[in-house]
Structure 1
Amino acid sequence: MIIEKGYDLRESLGVLWKNKNAAAIATGLVATLFSTMGPGLIVMNAAKSGGLTDAQAISWLLGIYLIGGLSTMFMSLRYRIPVVTAFSIPGAVMLAKILPNFAFSEAIGAYIVVAVVTLVLTLTGVMKKLVERIPVPVMLGMVGGVLLSFATSMFTAAINMPQIYGVMIAAFFLSMAFKGFSKKVPPIVVAIIIGIAALGFFNLITPIPLSLEIAKPVLALPTFSLRAILDISIPLFFLVIGVQNIQAVGVLMAAGYKVPINAMYVVPAIGTFINSLFGAHPAVTAGPSTAICASPAAGEKKEFRFIAAFSEGVFWVTFALLAKIIVDSVKMVPKEFTAVLAGLAMFEVFRSAFEGAFAGKFRMGALVAFFIAVTNLSILNIGAPLWAIFLGLLTSFIVERADFRADKIENSEAIEAAK
């Protein structure tokens, strides 16, 4: 079997229909808001930084949310577990810096390389072994370094215009302080509402006519270059297998589900190939959205929490088809508004990255990876993210060899427990 055996899709649909409930659907909606309001802006920011046209930006959004939504619906029905297929948010952040240095066709070729390598490694059984051995803290250190400039840009905007962006950030954190409220209404939604109200009060919204139009794909043709593979494919590959997918695997293991590890790599790999045809970057198994849908908020009976993930898939498809309206709407507000929202949307990613990088093993390697990624320098035409991973790993091999032995034992025990 290429992927693990699961349930009949039609039977699962029957189970879903009989057990549909408000808690699961509402949780799916909350997860949708979490994964669209901020991350969608991050992708649009990357498209703008890369010099893409509006049509290409719309196609990018259409690809990641349409394929992600359909893949999520498939995985939910086949395995009846709350697993969400999405896209790499840190990958989109990284691309905002890297895309200006490449032709867009070279980036598409790099995405396809990620898909092919992930698929081959999974089908040959190598992926499971890699998952056991990759030191996640080093990669998280690299992610933290790449993300740092987005956090500083957010607070720079708040300092320059506190009456708008400072208020948005304050509203975000104040809503987080009320746990019950923030579970129902994501803090990023509060920040968006407050920010739009402030922009309107200060007459900073530019009127643009909006039309209800279904998003259309723009076919993206690839070209392949060694430089793009080194600068784009390799960092994205490590993000996919060592940071993104492994988070979702851990979430489901912790929740007591039997995890279809091959499927959680194969399905996003196929999704990545299809995404690339839309001009969209790699698909992943989403840790945060999977965690939301696997939580008790999705229902007391965990065997029916897959309904939350399926609901999110349906919402994602709807969001994808309305991508043109979303792209047009962003033009109505200052660029600082989207920068602040992107930073706030990534705040949990910041916290997770720094906590995972520096709270346990491989801290020296993670620290080296962080500092190198912050420089954003290119050496021998190879970008900082790859150098960060390589030199971070080298540092850990030199000074933290005991951590590799301990990590190997822990990963082996976790995978055995999941069998």
Structure 2
Amino acid sequence: MWKKNVVELPRHLTMGSFSNGLVAAMFGAAGPLLIVLQAAAKGHLSDAATSSWILGIYGTGGILTLIMSFYYRLPIGYAFSIPGVILVGDSLAHHSLSQVAGAYLATGLLILLLSLTGFIRTLMRSLPLPVMMGMVAGVLLPFGTDLFRSVLENPLLNGIPLLVFLILSLFAKLSKKFPPILGAMLAAAVLLKVLPGSGSEGGLTFSVAIPQLVLPSFDLSTMGELVVPLVLTVVAIQNAQGIAVLRSSGYEPPVNSMSSWSGIGCIVNSVIGAHSACVAGPMTAILADKESGSHENRYAAAIVLGVLACLVGLFAPMAATIPHLIPASLIKMLGGMAMIGVLIDSFKMSFSGRFKSGALFSFLITVSGISILHIGAPFWGLIGGMAASLFLDRKDYGLPSEQKEPQPQGS
């Protein structure tokens, strides 16, 4: 299977898969990287420890993306838990990196155990897809609204690529061979060069990351503060998003394998001072979008992402300067364009079939951004959506299979 998939990959690499893989990589190497740098500064980490952290989260994420997408031929993108970064930044302010690494290791072992017992697969099967997609729609909605905020922030730099995207979208035959988002990216690259003050005047300095081994130590206070929240962010927030996106796109994701590799990634990351590895919901949504190509070939976009993520990890000291070279509003604009089709499908899957009330509660709670017990809104969106369904959608549990939620189009 591996040999066959490697041999067939070149003919599956299209402009669409390349552009969506590139957008997903830019998406993960801009805003999220800034959050990591802020957390590292808050924890007073050295430059070497910070580079090792970046190497772990991007390098491990890239390798897991390559493994899963090659083996299963699915557009699965791995990265790291963004809510986890915020938790870790707060914890590093009063715990040592060694103690925090011990919590990372315990998190990975617990996720792996839950996966091997089949608990996570059973949990994901018990969650109605519309409720999960309501949570996904709530998570992705800000990326859509940021598209228009970015245009207002810089009408020329961000407005012209959006106009190029819309014009290219008018020509159906052309857009199949030349994705509109790729045209928008090329327009943005030209504008960065010609518009004064659009890009940074600085440049990249060549430097390769060196992993810094960290000996984990186990402190009950640190573990009590981090382990359960990190497990929940991986299993019930990040991975749940990716699983829901793949199912809504007509795929059957290998839930246990996805979760097991998340646990293994967490364990590997812990020894170099990096936090949780997990499925990246928004990035997987970009990869699984129809702009990546035909249904069976979209895994090629994940291959592009995996290679680029590994490069970001390898050149971590250089990658740390990327968010300062490309305006954040431009990244948001490109990411928002990539999310248009995904958002349409998310709302369709949430509100066109069963469990509409549960999906609405899940969506609204997620959009609210509430955080309870250091656990983010997507988790509480799932909990609230399930509770609402039990009260308001009871009739939907008894519908025959032919009346269940509509299946998405595969291409």
**Partner Cα distance (1:311, 1:160) in 2:** 30
* 1:163 Cα offset (Å): 2.1
Deviation digits for residues 182-219 of structure 1 (CA, Å, limit 9, x no counterpart): 45555444333323433442333221132232234456
**Partner Cα distance (1:40, 1:386) in 2:** 24
101 and 397 in structure 1: CA distance in 2 versus 1, 3 angstrom threshold:
farther
Corresponding residue for 1:38? 27
248 and 149 in structure 1: CA distance in 2 versus 1, 3 angstrom threshold:
closer
Q: Any unmatched runs of 5+ in structure 2?
A: none
Deviation digits for residues 267-313 of structure 1 (CA, Å, limit 9, x no counterpart): 333224334545354322846536779954877xxxxx988866764
1:343-362 superposed matches below 5 A: 343-362=336-355
* 1:406 Cα offset (Å): 4.5
Corresponding residue for 1:192? 185
* 1:400 Cα offset (Å): 0.9
Deviation digits for residues 308-348 of structure 1 (CA, Å, limit 9, x no counterpart): 86676445534542444343233124333333334334444
What SS does the corresponding residue of 1:283 show, helix, strand or coil?
Answer: strand
**Partner Cα distance (1:142, 1:21) in 2:** 33
374 and 67 in structure 1: CA distance in 2 versus 1, 3 angstrom threshold:
same
**Partner Cα distance (1:378, 1:76) in 2:** 33
* 1:107 Cα offset (Å): 8.3
**Partner Cα distance (1:122, 1:190) in 2:** 42
Correspondence 1:234 to 2:250: no
Give 1:170's aligned amino acid.
Answer: L
Give 1:401's aligned amino acid.
Answer: R
Kept in 2: contact 1:136–1:243 (CA 8 A): no
* 1:244 Cα offset (Å): 1.0
Correspondence 1:208 to 2:202: yes
Greater CA deviation, 156-165 or 172-181? 172-181
Corresponding residue for 2:366? 373
1:258-269 superposed matches below 5 A: 262-269=256-263
Corresponding residue for 2:380? 387
Kept in 1: contact 2:54–2:274 (CA 8 A): no
1:243-254 superposed matches below 5 A: 243-245=241-243, 247-248=245-246, 253=251
1:10-409 superposed matches below 5 A: 12-13=2-3, 15=4, 19-20=7-8, 22-26=10-14, 29-30=18-19, 32-47=21-36, 50=39, 52=41, 59=52, 61-75=54-68, 79=71, 81-87=72-78, 92=82, 103=92, 115-200=108-193, 201-217=195-211, 224=222, 226=224, 228=226, 232-245=230-243, 247-248=245-246, 253=251, 262-276=256-270, 277=272, 279-284=274-279, 286=284, 289=287, 296=294, 313-314=306-307, 316-379=309-372, 383-406=376-399
What SS does the corresponding residue of 1:38 show, helix, strand or coil?
Answer: helix
Deviation digits for residues 369-399 of structure 1 (CA, Å, limit 9, x no counterpart): 2222333234566543333222222111111
* 1:239 Cα offset (Å): 2.9
**Partner Cα distance (2:335, 2:100) in 1:** 22
**Partner Cα distance (2:32, 2:11) in 1:** 29
250 and 187 in structure 1: CA distance in 2 versus 1, 3 angstrom threshold:
same
Give 1:364's aligned amino acid.
Answer: S
TM (normalized to structure 1)? 0.72
Give 2:395's aligned amino acid.
Answer: A
Kept in 2: contact 1:31–1:292 (CA 8 A): no
Kept in 2: contact 1:230–1:382 (CA 8 A): no
Kept in 2: contact 1:33–1:189 (CA 8 A): no
Deviation digits for residues 247-268 of structure 1 (CA, Å, limit 9, x no counterpart): 44676757xxxx7554343233
Give 2:356's aligned amino acid.
Answer: R
Kept in 2: contact 1:139–1:366 (CA 8 A): yes
**Partner Cα distance (1:112, 1:388) in 2:** 27
Give 2:387's aligned amino acid.
Answer: L
149 and 289 in structure 1: CA distance in 2 versus 1, 3 angstrom threshold:
closer
**Partner Cα distance (1:395, 1:360) in 2:** 16
354 and 76 in structure 1: CA distance in 2 versus 1, 3 angstrom threshold:
closer
68 and 184 in structure 1: CA distance in 2 versus 1, 3 angstrom threshold:
farther
* 1:245 Cα offset (Å): 3.1
What SS does the corresponding residue of 1:37 show, helix, strand or coil?
Answer: helix
Kept in 1: contact 2:248–2:349 (CA 8 A): no
**Partner Cα distance (1:205, 1:401) in 2:** 54
Give 2:32's aligned amino acid.
Answer: V
Give 2:199's aligned amino acid.
Answer: I
Kept in 2: contact 1:24–1:307 (CA 8 A): yes
Kept in 2: contact 1:114–1:233 (CA 8 A): yes
**Partner Cα distance (1:288, 1:398) in 2:** 34
What SS does the corresponding residue of 2:274 show, helix, strand or coil?
Answer: coil
Kept in 2: contact 1:72–1:310 (CA 8 A): yes
Alignment RMSD (CA, Å): 4.3
**Partner Cα distance (1:382, 1:240) in 2:** 12
295 and 376 in structure 1: CA distance in 2 versus 1, 3 angstrom threshold:
closer
287 and 324 in structure 1: CA distance in 2 versus 1, 3 angstrom threshold:
same
Give 1:269's aligned amino acid.
Answer: G
**Partner Cα distance (1:378, 1:260) in 2:** 29
What SS does the corresponding residue of 1:208 show, helix, strand or coil?
Answer: coil
391 and 292 in structure 1: CA distance in 2 versus 1, 3 angstrom threshold:
closer
Percent identity over the alignment is 25
